[in-house]
Every structure is written in C-alpha cells, then in structure tokens.
C-alpha cells in the first residue's frame, strides 16, 4: 500500500516530498518482509516500486526546487533591473529638469542684464526708467547735465524718488557731484522729493556737475537701502560731445 502511494505521489510537485518519506518507510517495511516472509514475490515488487518512487521523488523534488529557484532569481533580477531603469529614468529626468532650470535662469539673467543696461528695470519695490538727459549751464557758468527719471512706486507705502532710489552719474569713471537748482528755470528739483502712493508714477529730474564737456556720462540707479546688493541696478550712458 505504501509503495503504491509513493509511486503515485512522487510525480506531483511538492507533494513528492511526502511521497519520498512514504517510499522510504515502504522500502524499509518491504525489505523486512523480504527477509521474514516466505513469499518473496510481493516483497520484491514492493522493494522495486518503493525504490523507483524514491528515485523519481528525489528527482522531481530537486527539479521543482531548481525551477522555483530560477523563478525567484529571475524575479529578483527583473525587480533589480526595473529598479535600475527607474533610477536611471529619474536621474535623466532630474538632469533634464536641472538643465532646463539652468537655461531659464541664464536667459532670465541675460534679459535682466540687457534691460538694466538699457536704463530701465525693477529695483526691489520700485521701477525706474532713465529716460533722457540734456546739458545746460548752471550758476557761475558751471556745465551740468540734467537727467530725467521715471519713478514708479510698487511698495505698500508712499515714498519719494529721493528716499527710495540712489542715483549716481559718472564721467571718465569719476562720480559727479549733485547740482542743486534753486529756481525752476532749468528743471523742477522739488519733484524728486514728492511722495507718491503705491502704483503711482512720477517724472523727476536730477542735475549733476560735469567734469568736462566731451566725455560720456554713465548714469545708474539702485535701491537706496540694499544691504546685500540683491536688487541690482539700472544704467544708461549718454554722449554729450
């Protein structure tokens, strides 16, 4: 009976593990019967069947285990490959995003630099446009240049050009001194001190004393209080020759 169970179960994967032990027990009992019984035929048949069951069962168990191991290895390998592909894709996407961000930042900086060099741009909470300049003669026949700015206040509180913006002019790399007019014949200097509310725009004029009457004048404007110099500046060059 054990021999029959062993030969049947040895062909079924995983169940053959139990069949192996059934075949071992059957083989032991068959060998005992072979030596103790006078009728040898049935015992010999049992020995043969149990031996075959044992061999087939071990072979099937080994084959099933090997197949399962290969499946596990393939699964792990596929998982690792998938993980590597995912990591590679994420890395490529990250590099592409960083490259696009870098290009956008460079383009923005280039555009900002070009705008600022043309004498207009945002300076913190304000917008300044260096519109025009003209030469004139001040007191004591002093040659001067009068620069007109357009000042827009985007801050939440009212402010004036004088208290919001630092304006400077250079000639041959030397900073020009401010020229103060006490009459409106040349320009109205009081406009630069007028407060304007948020969203309002005003034109102001500021005069500077020229060093000579031939060198170009470079005008620049920046935020008056900018500790970390983070708001940039706008510049424009005027030819007076």
Instruction: Encode pLDDT of 39-87 as tens digits.
Output: 656 656 666 666 666 666 666 666 666 666 677 777 777 766 766 666 7
Residue-by-residue DSSP string for 81-108: HHHHHHHHHHHHHHHHHHHHHHHHHHHH
pLDDT at 100: 83
| pLDDT at residue 110 is higher than 90 | no
Q: Which of 57-61, 77-81, 137-141, 224-228 has the highest mean pLDDT?
A: 137-141
| pLDDT at residue 20 is higher than 70 | no
Q: Helix, strand or coil for residue 72?
A: helix
Q: Helix, strand or coil for residue 210?
A: coil
* Residue 3: pLDDT band with limits 50, 70, 90: very low
Q: 186 with 136: CB under 8 angstroms?
A: yes
| pLDDT at residue 2 is higher than 50 | no
| Mean pLDDT across 152-171 | 97
Q: Which residue has the higher pLDDT, 4 or 192?
A: 192
pLDDT in tens, 77-103: 776 676 666 676 778 788 888 888 887
Q: 42 with 52: CB under 8 angstroms?
A: no
Q: Retrieve residue 190's tokens.
A: 């009081």
Q: Which residue has the higher pLDDT, 88 or 159?
A: 159
Q: 50 with 23: CB under 8 angstroms?
A: yes
Q: Retrieve residue 169's tokens.
A: 């002019």
pLDDT at 89: 79
pLDDT at 76: 76
Q: Retrieve residue 232's tokens.
A: 């940039």
Q: How far apart are CA 240 and CA 135, in angstroms?
A: 7
Q: Where are the domains of the chain?
A: 1-116, 118-238
| pLDDT at residue 214 is higher than 90 | yes
pLDDT at 97: 86
CATH of domain 118-238: 2.60.40.1240
Q: 203 with 149: CB under 8 angstroms?
A: yes
Backbone angles phi, psi at 15, to 5 degrees: -70, -25
How big is the CA angle at 162 (ends 131 and 124), to the nearest 5 degrees? 75
- In 10 A of CB 36, how many CB atoms? 8
Nearest to 21 by CA among 5, 39, 37: 5
> Tell me, what DSSP letter sits at residue 225?
S
pLDDT at 226: 83
Find the largest Cα–Cα distance for the chain. 150
Q: Which residue has the higher pLDDT, 118 or 40?
A: 118
Q: How far apart are CA 48 and CA 30, in angstroms?
A: 9
| β partners of residue 132 | 148
Nearest to 20 by CA among 63, 48, 68, 61: 61
Q: Helix, strand or coil for residue 93?
A: helix
Stated pTM of the model: 0.55
């Amino acid at each position: 009976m054990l021999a029959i169970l062993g030969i049947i179960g040895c062909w079924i994967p995983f169940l053959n593990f139990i069949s192996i032990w059934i075949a071992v027990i059957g083989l032991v009992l068959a060998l005992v019967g072979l030596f103790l019984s006078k009728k040898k035929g049935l015992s010999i048949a049992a020995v043969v069947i149990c031996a075959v069951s044992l061999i087939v069962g071990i072979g099937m168990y080994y084959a099933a285990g090997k197949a399962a191991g290969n499946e596990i290895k393939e699964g792990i390998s596929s998982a690792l490959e998938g993980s590597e592909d995912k990591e590679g894709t994420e890395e490529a996407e990250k590099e592409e995003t960083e490259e696009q961000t870098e290009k956008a930042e460079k383009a923005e900086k280039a555009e900002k630099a070009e705008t600022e060099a043309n004498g207009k741009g945002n300076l913190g909470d304000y917008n300044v446009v260096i519109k025009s300049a003209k030469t004139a003669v001040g007191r004591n026949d002093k040659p001067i240049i009068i620069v007109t700015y357009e000042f827009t206040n985007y801050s939440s509180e009212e402010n004036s050009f004088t208290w919001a913006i630092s304006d400077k002019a250079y000639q041959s790399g030397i900073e020009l001194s401010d020229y103060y007019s006490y009459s409106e014949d040349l320009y109205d200097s009081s406009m630069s001190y007028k407060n304007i509310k948020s969203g309002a725009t005003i034109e102001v004029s500021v005069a500077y004393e020229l060093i000579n009457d031939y060198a170009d004048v470079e005008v620049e404007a920046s935020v008056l209080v900018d500790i970390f110099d983070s708001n940039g500046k706008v510049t424009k060059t005027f030819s007076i020759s």
